[in-house]
């Protein structure tokens, strides 16, 4: 039997940091003189910080020099970091820990595959970092999802063939990246939105250990 590995996205899968991203982007938009809605924030799911700022400036019809652009990138991240600084284990989404504990007990490799550049400090804050054998985040990649780079690097680090990797994702771009990597994709969220996923669940409370055992082959 071939070795399997599990890869988790961070935002919207393990913790809901999307609300903090939204608050930080909204603050920046307001500072620049325009509104930024929750509906518009959907465009930012699974997208790099640089691309998010490009989209935000398009929404506000604002042109920026490279120096202004870089400054706003830093300002947004500082606001976001201030929000996540108060995070603790209560922010872990329901039943995520149950799945992580099961995989750890089975000695199955676990990796994080996230666009976030703040993945490690967030995992430390919520006390989940010890579960992850490898962290592949926005500091480790050059291509954004749906490019499969982040997941392929995770597979390589785990020494698992891509087709034997199982990916948990909440974003269309993330599901696309997993599918492009020829991995098993599990959508967490709205099944209509994540219709390209191999499996769909509203959240981890709908995933029982029998399903995980079937994927693992135990």
Task: State the CB neighbour count (10 A cutoff) for residue 26.
Answer: 18
Give the start-end residues of each E strand in 101-204: 110-113, 134-136, 165-169, 184-188, 199-201
Task: State the CB neighbour count (10 A cutoff) for residue 74.
Answer: 9
Q: Could you confirm whether 203 is annotated as catalytic?
A: no
Are 79 and 19 contacting, i.e. CB atoms less than 8 angstroms apart? no
Instruction: Report the distance separating Cα 201 and Cα 168, nearest Å.
Output: 10
Are 151 and 178 contacting, i.e. CB atoms less than 8 angstroms apart? yes
Q: Could you confirm whether 9 is annotated as catalytic?
A: yes
Of the candidates 128, 101, 29, the residue with the CA atom closest to the CA atom of residue 72: 29
Active centre residues (catalytic) = 9, 11
């Amino acid at each position: 039997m071939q070795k399997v590995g599990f890869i988790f996205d961070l935002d919207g899968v393990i913790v809901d940091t999307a609300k903090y991203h939204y608050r930080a982007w909204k603050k920046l938009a307001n500072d620049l003189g325009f509104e930024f809605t929750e509906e518009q924030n959907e465009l930012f799911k699974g997208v790099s910080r640089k691309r998010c700022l490009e989209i935000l400036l398009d929404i506000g019809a604002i042109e920026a020099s490279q120096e202004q652009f870089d400054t706003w990138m830093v300002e947004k991240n500082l606001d976001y970091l201030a929000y996540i600084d108060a995070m603790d284990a209560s922010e872990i989404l329901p039943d995520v820990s149950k799945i992580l504990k099961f995989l750890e007990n089975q000695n199955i490799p676990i990796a994080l595959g996230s666009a976030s550049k703040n993945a490690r400090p967030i995992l430390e804050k919520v006390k989940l970092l010890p579960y992850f054998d490898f962290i592949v985040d926005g500091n480790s990649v050059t291509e954004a999802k749906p490019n499969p780079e982040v997941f392929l690097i995770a597979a390589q680090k785990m020494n698992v063939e891509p087709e034997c990797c199982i990916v948990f994702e909440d974003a269309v771009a993330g599901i696309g990246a997993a599918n492009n990597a020829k991995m098993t994709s599990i959508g967490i969220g709205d099944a209509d939105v994540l219709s390209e996923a191999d499996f769909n669940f509203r959240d981890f409370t709908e995933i029982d250990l029998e399903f995980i055992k079937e994927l693992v082959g135990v």
